[in-house]
Amino acid sequence: MTETKDSLSFKRLKMQCRRGMLELDVLLEPFLAEVYLTLEEEDKQRFVNLLALEDQDLFPWFMQSAVPEDPDHARIVNIILTRVQPENYRA
């Protein structure tokens, strides 16, 4: 079954992208809306796994003050930062 923006699993992911920190919302929500469906299945699973983590774990990674030790987390964080990083954070 192909996942679409109207599918139940996508809607669940959309809810999980709404975090307690605005800084995470502005990265995760656009990534889901604009990029997620184009990812390889392995990267989709990495994103799902990332959403299960706590905001305090994600925040330093997305603010680029720390790098995830787990290579799967590091890969998806890098993909997200590269694809939807707000203009004022781009190098």
Which tens digits make up the pLDDT trace of 76-91? 999 999 998 656 454 4
Q: Summarize pLDDT for 10-62 with one digit per residue, the tens.
A: 999 999 999 989 999 999 999 999 999 999 999 999 999 999 999 999 999 99
- Predicted local confidence at residue 63, as pLDDT: 93
Is residue 17 within 8 A of residue 25, CB to CB? The reply is yes
Average pLDDT over residues 63-73: 96
Q: Where are the alpha helices (DSSP H) in 1-91?
A: 8-16, 22-34, 41-51, 55-62, 71-84
What pLDDT, on the 0 to 100 scale, is given for residue 91? Answer: 44
* 8 pLDDT higher than 50: yes
Q: Has domain 18-86 been given CATH number 2.30.110.10? A: no
The pTM for the full model equals 0.86
Could you tell me the residue ranges of all domains in the chain? 18-86
